[in-house]
Structure 1
Amino acid sequence: MNSTVVKMTRAQLTAMVVGGMIGAGIFSLPRTFAGATGPLGAVVAWLIAGLGMYTLARVFQMLAERKPALDAGVFAYAKEGFGDYPGFLSAFGYWIGSCIGNVSYWVLIKSTLGAFFPVFGDGNTVVAILVASVGIWLFHFMILRGVQQAAAINKIVTIAKVIPILVFLAIMAFAFKMDMFQFNFYGGDLTGSIFEQVRATMLVTVFVFLGIEGASVYSRYAKDRSDVGAATVTGFLVVTTLMVLVTLLPYAVVPRADIAAMRQPSMAALLEAVVGHWGAVFVSVGLLVSVLGAYLTWSLICAEVLSAAARTRDMPKVFARENANGVPSAALWATNIIIQLIVISTYWSRDAFSLMLNLTSAMSLIPFLLVAAYGLQVTRRGETYDVRPQERNRDLILAVVATIYTVFLLYAGGIEFIVLSAVLYAPGSLLYLWARREQGARVFNKPSDVVILALAVIAAAVGIYWIATGYIQI
């Protein structure tokens, strides 16, 4: 890494977490939850997601403090715990999932503008794709000027985008009607048990919690390693509080069925229903600032993960190249080319935003599961616990809960998104073969690696067949 790169403060690392988590998802939460459940199910869902993601955040914090040599922790932990190929899959899955998440930001931006300018439609018209393409490359060349500059901009944007959310919450609280909240409480005419309703929200909660690992990804830039863990937990607590309130307060203002039928971003439609057209404009402006800020954060994270994997020789070495400003330029180019291609592909999608949201979540589950499982390994073996040994039992419990939670998420997401993930994981393994050939190393070190690849190829074939036959509609 270029030695002239300035380190990031705790405030900037916290802004990376908050900035990554507050993006497209929070503005779409009211309709997304209302379409699946009422306040009771929402509370249960947030309790499960909040507890699960809190334990995962604490695992990130624990590993950042006890394994400081592992930079870009999301995939480095997987490699350390389970070997080269699982480490590669974690890096690739997290990277490509983050690229897909960035596409969802552009779709929602254009969908938001579509409420005022019909030419943008639902975010996947020709004009919408052209405008998004211009935005992709404007951000690209801004980031090439330096990570530290981009992080400083992100801190300002993070503060700016929280303001409209707070205004929305204040107005919803003022308009609160207990009888409406009680009417919506059990979900009204929704069918299915509370368990099924809660299960239907799980991929959404994963999407809105993505970014919780932002400080861990940028650990090599931290002035003090202890800032990584503190930033992770602080960012988690702030954003979780906002998301729970954004989900629950609308149930006390508008009937659940009406919320479920609103156009995305539903936060704008809700505020318009309460205060008039200016509310939609106000939230839409806030959303544009929020999503563009989140896009900046995730562009940085995408490039950093790919570059870190190349530096540790888990990806082809070309992606480790940095420019004079210390920016992983080759990784950034690869990231934005992929984003550009996926943006173009949304033209043929029926519901581009929902597809991008769910697929982003599904691609992130394997990396998160491997992080939680590695945390479980460390605590069970007692590694590094010659220092502060009294923390071991607490950390073991946190790692166990985080592992169970991520396994549950794989179940809740459903088989469809697992096979869709494999459609990307299987061909992505060619990058692993490329990297191993560069090193002159044996491709697979363990028989289990071959089994994993075989399963990925089989699942990918099933996924392609299901798409071709219409069983899975994209």
Structure 2
Amino acid sequence: MHGEDEGEADVPAAASPAAKVSFLTLTSMVVGSMVGAGVFSLPQRFAQESGVAGTVISWVIAGFGMLMLAFVFQTLAVRRPDLDAGVYAYAKAGFGEYLGFFAAFGYWASACVGNVTYWVLIMSTVGQVAPALGNGDTVPALVLASVGLWGFYFLIRRGVKEATAINRIVTAAKLVPILVFVVLALFQLRPAVFADNLQGAAHVGPLFQQIRGTMLVTVFVFIGVEGASVYSRHARRREDVGRATLLGFLSVFAVFASVTVVSYGILPMERIARLHQPSMAGVLEAAVGTWGKALVSVGLIVSVLGAYLAWSLMAAEVLFVAAKDRDMPRFLGRANRADVPLPALLMTTCLSQVMLVVTLFSDDAFDFALDLTSALVLIPYLLAAAYCVRHTGGPRRARTGARRDLITAVLATVYTMFLLYAAGLKFVLVSFILYAPATVLFAMGRREQGRRVFSRPEAALFAVSVVGAVLGVLALTLGWIHL
């Protein structure tokens, strides 16, 4: 398995039996992919947009909506065990190859941009003691982040089992400082400060505007709820996929909501809104002193590196399975003897590298990458939820629990549509700038099979994506929208 040609000689996917992982490992993939950079940025991001009341309502909406989405992935994992790679496979089964390709690419691109947030936040954290790194958006920060990016590429190519074992250990380790933060903040909570933050400071708008302003943040921190579904071909037992999804979601939801709400009892929200990222470190420093800031900073680095590992694995897996199903070019469907899809992993690392460079030109590197990550993943989520509506609502789908599953799928679909509205036109247009050129990969796959590139409906969808991309480029060029 680790011979001298390991990682160099690719073999067809069919020749590499999928490595099997346990329920515990699947759950750690869900938790590990959700608990990353986002949780450490929550206090500042929420304080910029909302007071305590708006925050609580936002978490109720996000928790309920994402729970419905988690139920969707659980339902589909049980009812369609023949479909691997989750989001992509469900979109294709429900709406055809081209929208399935869009879901695969969008989910993959979202993972790559999300990986950028991890490196930016690490550099921003270290930047508090090394000013040359700034907020993670300087040239020295870019160089160091690039070294880390490619270092992980060479680690992951050694094998899936090795990488998931590391992820399980890291998942346990990174939860400790987060839980310590919640406990310490509760003990240090000042009721008068909490009460002053209840309605929100002068810089936030009406309640609905506060809720809308926090929606993309909640999407970002919950991305990964489908982690076990994406990695389903490696599950020892199919039922473990749904169980791991629900257990991981409920655990992480409790942590995220607690981190956000208790922060309002430590500092006035105007001060929280101005904190340097990771803002959780600034809150704990105000509560217990500099050692609290150091604890959170170390925890962040461990957490982010673990999440980066999980997301690199899942992103490559989506491209790999799409190529195996002949919806991506053939070269992406190859794996080495350690069951690692090397071409897909290489392409994942390359896009993350490109997006790292883009952050140098954005007004706020971390916020831009976070919001774009959320916007890119919404279309794949919407297609998966809509497919669940079709699958559970058809006349031939009657079975135990069908009505419950249909209601859940409808609620998840409505929730993701609301999220697209909350994202706003800016990020939808920027998403199209990525989606439209990616169709080259779809065309390559069709040509390899000797097939016509587009059917008439697919050609119409392609035209819409091109128009969206052109409008996005014009909006950026003319200054209508800014990165």
Superposed pair shares fold, TM > 0.5 = yes
Cα distance between partner residues in 2 of 1:155 and 1:54: 23
**AA at the equivalent of 1:413:** A
- Whether 1:209 aligns to 2:218 is no
Indicate the residue corresponding to 1:395 in structure 2.
Answer: 405
Identity %: 52
Larger displacement relative to structure 2 (224-233 or 269-278): 269-278
Indicate the residue corresponding to 2:445 in structure 1.
Answer: 435
Q: 1:406 aligns with which of 399, 416, 424?
A: 416
- Whether 1:73 aligns to 2:86 is yes
Q: Are the structure 2 counterparts of residues 348 and 398 from structure 1 closer, same or farther at C-alpha, using a change threshold of 3 Å? A: same
Q: 1:357 aligns with which of 370, 378, 383?
A: 370
Q: Are the structure 2 counterparts of residues 201 and 139 from structure 1 closer, same or farther at C-alpha, using a change threshold of 3 Å? A: same
Q: Contact 1:382 / 1:392 at 8 angstroms: preserved in 2?
A: no
Indicate the residue corresponding to 1:460 in structure 2.
Answer: 469
SS, match of residue 170 in structure 1: helix
**AA at the equivalent of 1:211:** G
**AA at the equivalent of 2:134:** G
Larger displacement relative to structure 2 (358-367 or 451-460): 451-460
- Whether 1:417 aligns to 2:420 is no
Cα distance between partner residues in 2 of 1:78 and 1:457: 21
SS, match of residue 440 in structure 1: coil
Indicate the residue corresponding to 1:329 in structure 2.
Answer: 342
Q: Contact 1:272 / 1:279 at 8 angstroms: preserved in 2?
A: yes
Indicate the residue corresponding to 1:178 in structure 2.
Answer: 191
- Whether 1:129 aligns to 2:142 is yes
Q: Are the structure 2 counterparts of residues 55 and 409 from structure 1 closer, same or farther at C-alpha, using a change threshold of 3 Å? A: same
Q: Are the structure 2 counterparts of residues 191 and 106 from structure 1 closer, same or farther at C-alpha, using a change threshold of 3 Å? A: closer
Cα distance between partner residues in 1 of 2:17 and 2:205: 58
The Cα shift of 1:345 comes to 2.3
**AA at the equivalent of 1:449:** E
The Cα shift of 1:230 comes to 0.3
- 1:369-384 to 2 correspondence within 5 Å? 369-381=382-394
Cα distance between partner residues in 2 of 1:329 and 1:383: 41
- Whether 1:49 aligns to 2:53 is no
Cα distance between partner residues in 1 of 2:97 and 2:90: 11
- Whether 1:225 aligns to 2:244 is no
The Cα shift of 1:3 comes to 4.6
**Unpaired segments ≥5 residues, structure 1:** none
**AA at the equivalent of 1:426:** A
Indicate the residue corresponding to 2:283 in structure 1.
Answer: 270
Larger displacement relative to structure 2 (288-297 or 460-469): 460-469
- 1:17-32 to 2 correspondence within 5 Å? 17-32=30-45
Cα distance between partner residues in 2 of 1:73 and 1:303: 13
**Unpaired segments ≥5 residues, structure 2:** 1-12
The Cα shift of 1:4 comes to 5.1
The Cα shift of 1:146 comes to 0.5
- Whether 1:195 aligns to 2:208 is yes
The Cα shift of 1:5 comes to 4.5
**AA at the equivalent of 2:80:** K
The Cα shift of 1:277 comes to 1.2
- 1:46-195 to 2 correspondence within 5 Å? 46-195=59-208
Cα distance between partner residues in 2 of 1:382 and 1:242: 40
- 1:31-42 to 2 correspondence within 5 Å? 31-42=44-55
Indicate the residue corresponding to 2:299 in structure 1.
Answer: 286
Indicate the residue corresponding to 2:10 in structure 1.
Answer: none
SS, match of residue 365 in structure 1: helix
Q: Contact 2:266 / 2:286 at 8 angstroms: preserved in 1?
A: no
Indicate the residue corresponding to 1:304 in structure 2.
Answer: 317
Cα distance between partner residues in 1 of 2:459 and 2:83: 26
Q: Contact 1:26 / 1:208 at 8 angstroms: preserved in 2?
A: yes
**AA at the equivalent of 1:462:** L
Q: Contact 2:19 / 2:339 at 8 angstroms: preserved in 1?
A: no
**AA at the equivalent of 1:328:** P
RMSD: 1.1
- Whether 1:426 aligns to 2:436 is yes
Cα distance between partner residues in 1 of 2:213 and 2:360: 26
Q: 1:470 aligns with which of 460, 469, 479?
A: 479
Cα distance between partner residues in 2 of 1:17 and 1:473: 33
Larger displacement relative to structure 2 (263-272 or 183-192): 183-192
Cα distance between partner residues in 2 of 1:14 and 1:349: 35
**AA at the equivalent of 2:458:** D
Question: Runs in 1 of length 4+ with deviation above 6 angstroms?
Answer: none
The Cα shift of 1:6 comes to 3.1
The number of equivalent residue pairs is 470
**AA at the equivalent of 2:459:** V
Cα distance between partner residues in 2 of 1:28 and 1:198: 17
Q: 1:257 aligns with which of 237, 258, 270?
A: 270
Cα distance between partner residues in 2 of 1:384 and 1:67: 12
The Cα shift of 1:349 comes to 2.0
Cα distance between partner residues in 2 of 1:360 and 1:306: 17
Q: 1:319 aligns with which of 322, 332, 340?
A: 332
Larger displacement relative to structure 2 (271-280 or 189-198): 189-198
Cα distance between partner residues in 2 of 1:350 and 1:189: 23
Q: Contact 1:306 / 1:331 at 8 angstroms: preserved in 2?
A: yes
Indicate the residue corresponding to 2:255 in structure 1.
Answer: 242
Cα distance between partner residues in 1 of 2:151 and 2:89: 30
Cα distance between partner residues in 2 of 1:383 and 1:118: 63
